[in-house]
A and B are shown apart, each in its own frame.
Chain A
Amino acid sequence: MALEIPVDSTTTTTNAAGPNPGEVIVTDNLWKTYVMGDQQVNALRGVNLRIRHSEYVAIMGPSGSGKSTLMNLIGCLDSPSQGRYWLNGHDVSQLNDDELARIRNKEIGFVFQTFNLLARATSLHNVELPLIYNGTPTAERTARAKEVLESVGLGSRMDHKPNELSGGQRQRVAIARALVNRPSIILADEPTGNLDSKTSVEIMALFQELHAKGNTIVLVTHEPDIAEYANRIVTIRDGVVAGDQLSTRNRNQQP
């Protein structure tokens, strides 16, 4: 029962039927068009994608192919120009701003290539931010932020500000921040893009752990050996899904 059929999404039947049980991310013919003056850029040109609960998916593709655009749509940071998107079974286009904010806060953890930490705040405060926005009481907030920071190995760096941390440590803070609300989905856009290979391995070990705990992880990367940490590799080219296959490691694990 080999699942290794390379799927060409451009030719697959549509996902218009919506999500099946167990699928947390389902997109149907997703388009994103940026208008700049009289120029139109089609960053996405009809993406069909299904991601099941606790999958570990790497998204690869050349620069400018639309990976970050897709991640922003999946993370509800942006809305598609066309097409539909179901997150955890909900049609996102039906949700209002408050509900989307709640989803970003509770169900999704973002990790960015550039970390996006508040420069003037300590690690602890940066990690507390998402808890502040959902009104978690102070004592619980601090306790949870400390716990998560310890779990990413930064127990001794809680009072440091970002400019007092190394790149790898900053990314760990960002990961801790993404995890603090215990989201089921973690979206990481080139989380190791600014890190050396040794630090990258440490960060990937963290994602590995998270996946083992049952989280759904979607990770964008340029590096094939980073992508190999995932179970499944989706390739984007010119705004469409050009390839979708299991990773080598996962394939080898298949009976």
Chain B
Amino acid sequence: MFFRLLMESFRRQRRRKLLAGIAILLGTTAVTAMLALATTIGDRIHKELAVYGANIVVYPKTDLLDVKIGGVDVKPATGGSYLKESDLAKLRTIFWGNNITGISPELPVQVDATAPSGETLHANGLGLWFDHALTEDAHAQRMGAPALHPWWKLQGIWPHDSDAVVGAGLAAKWKLRIGDRLPVTLSTANGVTSGDARSFALRVSGIVSTGDKTEEQILLPLAMAQTISGLPGAVWRVEVSARTKPEDAFARKDPETLSPKDHDRWYCSPYANSIAFQIREAIPGAQAEQVRRVEQSEGTVLQRISGLMWLVSAAALLAAGFAVSAAMATAILERRGEIGLMRSLGASRSAIALLFYAETGLLAVFAGVVGYLLGSGLAAWLGARIFAGDGGAAEAVLNPVLLPVVVALALAVSIAGSTPSIRSALRMDPSAILRADA
């Protein structure tokens, strides 16, 4: 019987209810979209940022001393010990191997080059992978420096065999053009060419502008650098890009101090730290470290974005609350006479309050569910827009956990919004209401 009363009441004042419902709908749509994005945005932003460089660096173990000047790594290239290029394939075999999206080994080599002008000039060479298949099979992922540095701008093509790409700065200084020949010899550590050094006839296949120190370097295939420096199979440093879980307090734990159970949990979480740990396990003599710069800026960006999202959500809910409050105020004003009559016929204050609350509650649940559906759609659409070409968009659609959250928010907002007018209607004496109505 209460239900019948409620249904009858619910069908009335449809225009007002429509307005209140639309307000709740818009609010919950915004909130659902924000929440849905917020839950996936970490992953997506990471994917976006991951292309901007490595987040793990692998060194030979004896090369531990950090020599940094102004935050720039100036570790001497001649540390004496090297990693083996053949070990790098093991990177993909570790527990989180599939999360490793980029591997770029480096071998610096000091050379003396004969510029087109005929001068012999000293230069830093850097052996790199450019488009390297990690394994033999045809589907193997292609890895190398260009993939890790998508912002590098290349004129010409990446080098093969005895080709080289020169940095734009060096090319300008030496007046090098694509197709020029560039003979080089290995120079000794102090820059003096040893007389009997073998000469290698390099050819410039491209000019690259990078915006960093490689702008002044000669980039050559890793194999070539190994040949020039007489270190076959040697790698000095490897940059690794991995999809990781954002660092938290647990991620920073020293695995040695954890209980076996926690250790397993740590090991099986894709933290940069645990991936680095697994790399150390996989490659003998390797020291792997997390590069925090990217992670940290990611954290800040995430924090700002989620702050913004909460703000937008709160504003949307607040606006919905005010709209409900305004709609309910007029709706109840219109029905004051009826409220007076109901009370004179024996409806208690609580019964009337219950009726009106049930009515707004019903409205909120309706609007909340529809808002949830719309918001999920909006999130998917926004996700596809913001993170173009991201296959993850589909997973953002319909996160069932959000439904109760969103409906509860809609309920809270509509109850809070309608409380003032319901209270004022109940405070009035029924006799005064009836008299005013007459």
Contacts and interface: CB of A to CB of B under 8 A. Distances in A.
B1 A101 contact: no
Contacts of A133: 342, 345-347, 351
Contact of B429 (A78, A98, A102, A138): A78
Contacts of A101: 343, 346-349, 351
A74 to B, nearest CB: 11
Most buried by A among B4, B338, B347, B350: B347
Contact of A116 (B1, B350, B429, B437): B437
B426 to A, nearest CB: 9
A232 interface: no
B291 interface: no
Interface string A34-72: 000000000000000000000000000000000010001
A189 to B, nearest CB: 10
A134 B346 contact: yes
Contacts of A110: 344-345
A245 interface: no
A100 B2 CA distance: 20
Contacts of A138: 1
Interface in B309-332: none
Interface residues of A, number: 34
A114 interface: yes
Nearest to A120: B12
Nearest to B351: A133
A104 B346 CA distance: 5
B140 interface: no
A72 B344 CA distance: 10
A132 interface: yes
A135 B346 contact: no
B348 to A, nearest CB: 4
Which of A101, A102, A114, A116 has its CB near the most chain B CB atoms (within 10 A)? A101
B344 A104 contact: yes
Interface residues of B, number: 26
Contact of B1 (A97, A98, A104, A135): A135
B337 interface: yes
Contact of B438 (A97, A113, A132, A137): A113
B261 interface: no
Interface in B324-373: 337-338, 341-351
B343 A104 contact: yes
Nearest to B12: A120
A177 interface: yes
B435 A68 contact: yes
A118 interface: yes
A104 B434 contact: no
Given A113-B438, A138-B1, A130 B431 contact: no
B69 interface: no
A168 B246 CA distance: 78
B346 A102 contact: yes
B430 interface: yes
Nearest to B346: A105
Contacts of A75: 344
A129 interface: yes
B431 A77 contact: yes
A104 B429 contact: no
Contacts of B437: 114, 116
Contacts of A105: 345-347
Interface string A18-42: 0000000000000000000000000
Nearest to A72: B431
Given A101-B343, A118-B341, A132 B5 contact: yes
Nearest to B432: A78
A112 B346 contact: no
Interface in B1-56: 1-2, 4-5, 12
B1 to A, nearest CB: 5
Contacts of B434: 77, 112, 116
A100 B349 CA distance: 10
A135 B1 CA distance: 7
A106 interface: yes
Interface in A99-155: 100-106, 110, 112-114, 116, 118, 120, 129-130, 132-138, 141
Interface string B411-438: 0000000000000000001111011011
B351 to A, nearest CB: 6
Contacts of B12: 120
Contacts of A102: 346, 348
B431 A177 contact: no
A132 B337 contact: no
Contacts of B350: 97-98
A76 B341 CA distance: 13
A114 B438 contact: yes
Interface of A: 68, 72, 75, 77-79, 97-98, 100-106, 110, 112-114, 116, 118, 120, 129-130, 132-138, 141, 177, 181
6 contacts: A98-B350, A101-B348, A101-B349, A116-B434, A116-B438, A133-B342
Listed from nearest, the 9 A-B pairs whose CB atoms lie closest are: A105-B346, A101-B348, A72-B431, A77-B431, A78-B431, A133-B347, A114-B438, A130-B345, A104-B346
